[in-house]
C-alpha cells in the first residue's frame, strides 16, 4: 500500500512539472522599442502548449517591481484552458500596459512573470527584459525647510524640486496629494512652477496643521513635466520627522511654557501680602 502511494505521488509530481515544462512563454514584442524612461510601454506575451489540454484555467501574472509599474492592466490575467498543441498562430497572446520609472537605467531592464493553473498546484517563474532608453532625467522633490517641528501645531513647509538630470524640464507642475498626517491650510494643493533648467531648483510653501500624536508626516506629491515634447508623471513620498515637545524645548526650537510658574508666583505673592497685612492688624 505504501509503495502504491509513493508511486502515485511521484506520478503526480512528474505530471505537474511536465505540464509546467510544456507551457512555453515567450516575449513577442514591446511597443515602443526601446521605450523612453518615464513613458508607457505595451508588452505582448505568447503562451504555447506543447502537451495535452490543461485541466484548469491558466493564469499569467505580471509582477510590478522597479522600474516597472502597471498602468492600465490587471496584474493577473486568466487565459482559460490551454489546448494541447496550441502553437504559433493558435497560441494565446497576453498584453500589459506598463509605466517605466523616469529614472530607469538605460538598456535592458528585467521583469518577472508567473504562470500557474487556477488550483495553484505549481508556479513557473519567467524572466524577461524590456529595452529602455534613458534620457538621464532626474527631477527630485524634497522638503527643504519647515516651521512645523512638533505635532499639534500649524506652520509652513517648503517643498523644493531640483533638476539633477541632463535635460531641461518644461511645464513643471506640483500637486500635494491628500494624507491623514496633515490638514492643508493653504488655499490650493497645486502650483505651476514652469520651466526648470539643469542644476536649477524651484520651491513652494504650503501651510498645514499636523495633528497630535504624529511622529512622522508623510507628504505624497505628484509631479507633471515635459522633456523634449514627452510628458512625464512622477510620484514621491516626502517625509518630515517631528520632535516631541520636550526634545524641541531642549534644542531651543520651542519656548517652554512658563504659565504655571507665573501662576504659582502670583499666588505666593498674593498669599504673602495677605499674611503681612494680617500680621500688621494684629499689632
Task: Check residue 86 and report its DSSP letter.
Answer: B
CATH fold of 139-250 reads Immunoglobulin-like (2.60.40)
Q: Would the CATH topology of 23-133 be identical to that of 139-250?
A: yes
Render pLDDT for 194-227 as a digit per residue (tens, 0 to 9).
Answer: 999 999 999 999 999 999 989 999 999 999 999 8
Residue 180, classed as helix, strand or coil, is coil
- Residue 82 φ/ψ, nearest 5 degrees: -95, 120
Tell me the helices (H) and strands (E) count for the chain, helix number first.
3, 17
Greater model confidence, 190 or 148: 190
H-helix or E-strand spanning residue 31 = strand 23-31
* 0.75 surpassed by pTM: no
124: CB partners within 8 A, 6+ apart: 20, 23, 25, 114, 115, 116
**Rounded distance, CA 50 to CA 87, Å?**
7
Domain regions of the chain by residue span: 23-133, 139-250
Of 114, 20, 108, residue with least CA distance to 62: 114
Average pLDDT, whole number, for the chain?
A: 85
Q: Which three cell numbers stand for residue 33?
A: 522599442
Return the top range by mean pLDDT from 22-26, 89-93, 148-152, 154-158: 154-158
Q: Is residue 129 within 8 Å of residue 224, measured between CB atoms?
A: no
Whether residue 12 is predicted with pLDDT greater than 60 in this model: the reply is no
The answer as to CATH 2.60.130.10 being correct for domain 23-133 is no
Q: Which three cell numbers stand for residue 154?
A: 500649524
Q: What is the pLDDT of residue 71?
A: 92
Amino acid at each position: 500500500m505504501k509503495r502504491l502511494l509513493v508511486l502515485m505521488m511521484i506520478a503526480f509530481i512528474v505530471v505537474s512539472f511536465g505540464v509546467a515544462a510544456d507551457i512555453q512563454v515567450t516575449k513577442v514584442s514591446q511597443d515602443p522599442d526601446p521605450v523612453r524612461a518615464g513613458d508607457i510601454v505595451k508588452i505582448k506575451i505568447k503562451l504555447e502548449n506543447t502537451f495535452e489540454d490543461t485541466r484548469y484555467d491558466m493564469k499569467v501574472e505580471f509582477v510590478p517591481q522597479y522600474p516597472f509599474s502597471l498602468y492600465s492592466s490587471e496584474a493577473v490575467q486568466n487565459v482559460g484552458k490551454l489546448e494541447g498543441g496550441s502553437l504559433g498562430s493558435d497560441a494565446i497572446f497576453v498584453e500589459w500596459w506598463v509605466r517605466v520609472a523616469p529614472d530607469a537605467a538605460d538598456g535592458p531592464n528585467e521583469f518577472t512573470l508567473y504562470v500557474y493553473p487556477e488550483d495553484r498546484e505549481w508556479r513557473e517563474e519567467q524572466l524577461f527584459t524590456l529595452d529602455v532608453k534613458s534620457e538621464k532625467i532626474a527631477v527630485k522633490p524634497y522638503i527643504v525647510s519647515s516651521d512645523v517641528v512638533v505635532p499639534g501645531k500649524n506652520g509652513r513647509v517648503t517643498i523644493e524640486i531640483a533638476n539633477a538630470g541632463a535635460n531641461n524640464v518644461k511645464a513643471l507642475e506640483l500637486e500635494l496629494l491628500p494624507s491623514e498626517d496633515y490638514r492643508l491650510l493653504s488655499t490650493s494643493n497645486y502650483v505651476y512652477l514652469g520651466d526648470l533648467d539643469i542644476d536649477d531648483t524651484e520651491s513652494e510653501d504650503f501651510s498645514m496643521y499636523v495633528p497630535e500624536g504624529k511622529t512622522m508626516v508623510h507628504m505624497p506629491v505628484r509631479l507633471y513635466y515635459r522633456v523634449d515634447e514627452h510628458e512625464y508623471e512622477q510620484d514621491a513620498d516626502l517625509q518630515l520627522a517631528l520632535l516631541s515637545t520636550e526634545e524641541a524645548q531642549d534644542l531651543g526650537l520651542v519656548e517652554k511654557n512658563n504659565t504655571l510658574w507665573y501662576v504659582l508666583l502670583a499666588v505666593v505673592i498674593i498669599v504673602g501680602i495677605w499674611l503681612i497685612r494680617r500680621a500688621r492688624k494684629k499689632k
